Structure 1
Amino acid sequence: MDGDVRVGRFEGKVAMVTGAGSGMGAAAARQLAAEGAQAVVLADVNSEAASAVAKELPAGRAVALDVADAAAVDAAVDDVLREHDRLDVLVHAAGVDDPEAKQVIADALAESRPPEVTDRLTDAAWQRVMRINLDGTFHLLRAAVRGMRPAGTGAIVVIGSSSVFDTPVGYPHYAASKAGVHALSQAVAKEVITSGIRVNVVAPGPTETGMAARTPAALRSDLTDPGVRPYATPEEIADIALFLASDAAANLVGAVLLANGGRFTA
């Protein structure tokens, strides 16, 4: 593991991680287990991927979960509460991009012309990104808050995006979905801190995940700036997420930590 592991930081905690079958979610799940979590529930729409990661972890259990399905999210969190009687940490890393829009942007870059995405963006493409990224975040926040309020404690970390700040040309639906994620998380954070629940956001820049692997070469090259740090590793983003989930971040509420390697500041 490449992460900055602090043994015992999550000793005895019950944690749930969405998008845990790969990338930042898998890194966060591994690190939670390494740092003493009593139980780590790995949720992912790809149940086989989540199961593969869970098998590495002595405290891991995988669950198939489509975060766009509100009833399924409620049921998954209820199962955690029924089995463990509490939920201490939620890391919400599930989300999607739009490969078709990325290809349009990459083709435009290769041909030295502006991309034309908005006028050809379909309702289905818009709704898919919103349903999973924004609606899914609402479903997880609502379910987690319901579970954490009675205990009067809990930490929720949501993976947002630096695209909220630089709003990439040709990617309006993704940027809008993540801007909604940031605003939603901050509004909830201000509400639930009175119940002892902390909500914070990590806003990564380019990171070596499955999404990045599917990014067309021309677009990936455009996002690679030799003047700043290279693409982050999933472990580096997980480090930040788990700092926010830890007691060391007790005074951080509604924070959005920009983790883009110095590409820009917000």
Structure 2
Amino acid sequence: MTGTETGAETGGDTGAGAGRFEGKVALVTGAGSGIGAALARQLSREGVRAVVLADVNGEGATAVADTLPAARAVALDVADATAVDVAVADVLRVEGRLDVVVHAAGVDDPQAKEWIADALVAGRPPEVTGRLADTAWQRVLRVNLDGTFHVLRAAVRAMLPRAAGAIVVIGSSSALDAPAGYPHYAASKAGVHALSQAVAKEVIGAGIRVNVVAPGPTETGMAARTPEALRAGFADPRVRPYATPEEIAEIALFLASDAAANLAGAVLLANGGRFTV
């Protein structure tokens, strides 16, 4: 089972960059809601010939796709390597090419978040690692890290024959500040960043660009499931509040566009100024 780092926000049309993806074919994972849905909507507004919305929640992806022209949905568990390969092969069969892939699917751990929130309320350090079951560790790594590998591998295979393409992965600022009590999520996203950068170096010579966006707190379904005490802990009057899915989508689509032709292996930290690296 996967999930998406997303919630069901609709957002308005900013009109930014109209036509950047004219005639291109795109695949977005985690597109049933939140960041993934915002990505699909913006790609549709910017002229894609076709956009395929993939999500473990096939009904959610279909609901978004039904509101967009030249869009279709597919139920996809990114942790299933064969399913990812089949989904990408189907895009090639139907559309004949794949120009843009944005990988936004991922999961968090609601139980760990509850433990962290309880510790905040009690005024004590979180105690998570000693309580973390193998199944919880494996679930987060399987979806976030293995799933990213599956999507990157399939996308590279699809793009190599044309020696062109742009892949953008949604990482996390948690990979960089490694929040206490969230070892499996931080490790999975740090792995996602390193994996993406290694692949970026490998394929840039073949005309394929791979880049990463590392969001901070963003108003998604994942954020909506965050306990209030933990959400309050993210609040900082010195910086911007939670980003919107549309704001993160716009950064990702800049990386996917020709305007970012000189960027490969970049990790863009989009956390509203909470910290820098």
Deviation at 1:92, TM superposition (A): 0.1
1:205 has 2:250 as partner: no
Aligned residue for 1:192? Answer: 203
1:92 has 2:103 as partner: yes
**Aligned partners of 2:179, 2:160: CA distance in 1, in Å?**
37
Aligned residue for 2:60? Answer: 49
Aligned residue for 2:234? Answer: 223
- Unpaired stretches in structure 2, ≥5 consecutive residues: 1-11
1:251 has 2:262 as partner: yes
SS in 1 for 2:137: helix
**Aligned partners of 1:224, 1:137: CA distance in 2, in Å?**
30
Deviation at 1:256, TM superposition (A): 0.1
Q: 2:252 is matched by which residue type in structure 1?
A: A
Aligned residue for 1:150? Answer: 161
Q: 1:217 is matched by which residue type in structure 2?
A: E
Identical counterparts, % of pairs: 78
SS in 1 for 2:268: strand
Deviations 1:23-75, CA, capped at 9 Å, x for gaps = 10000000000000000000000001000000111111000000000000000
Q: 1:236 is matched by which residue type in structure 2?
A: E
1:62 has 2:77 as partner: no
TM-score by length of 1: 0.99
SS in 1 for 2:106: coil
1:103 has 2:114 as partner: yes
Partner residue of 2:142 out of 117, 131, 136: 131
- Unpaired stretches in structure 1, ≥5 consecutive residues: none
Alignment length (residue pairs): 266
1:177 has 2:188 as partner: yes
**Aligned partners of 1:184, 1:137: CA distance in 2, in Å?**
8
Alignment check: 8 A CA contact 2:240 2:273 kept = yes
**Aligned partners of 1:247, 1:52: CA distance in 2, in Å?**
30
Q: 2:271 is matched by which residue type in structure 1?
A: N
SS in 2 for 1:188: helix
Deviation at 1:226, TM superposition (A): 1.2
Q: 2:158 is matched by which residue type in structure 1?
A: G
Q: 1:131 is matched by which residue type in structure 2?
A: R
Aligned residue for 1:26? Answer: 37
Deviation at 1:2, TM superposition (A): 4.9
**Aligned partners of 1:20, 1:4: CA distance in 2, in Å?**
20
Does the C-alpha gap of structure 1 residues 4 and 158 become closer, same or farther in structure 2, counting only changes over 3 Å? farther
Aligned residue for 1:76? Answer: 87
Partner residue of 1:236 out of 226, 233, 247: 247
Aligned residue for 1:10? Answer: 21
SS in 2 for 1:48: helix
Deviations 1:63-116, CA, capped at 9 Å, x for gaps = 000000000000000000011111000000000000000000000001101110
Q: Comparing 34-43 with 2-11, which one deviates more in the overlay?
A: 2-11
Moved over 4 A (4+): none
SS in 2 for 1:91: strand
**Aligned partners of 2:220, 2:244: CA distance in 1, in Å?**
8
Deviation at 1:4, TM superposition (A): 5.3
Alignment check: 8 A CA contact 1:67 1:139 kept = yes
Deviations 1:133-186, CA, capped at 9 Å, x for gaps = 000000000000000000010000000000011100000000000000000000
Deviation at 1:3, TM superposition (A): 4.2
**Aligned partners of 2:25, 2:226: CA distance in 1, in Å?**
34
Q: 2:106 is matched by which residue type in structure 1?
A: G
**Aligned partners of 1:245, 1:180: CA distance in 2, in Å?**
21
Alignment check: 8 A CA contact 1:24 1:238 kept = yes
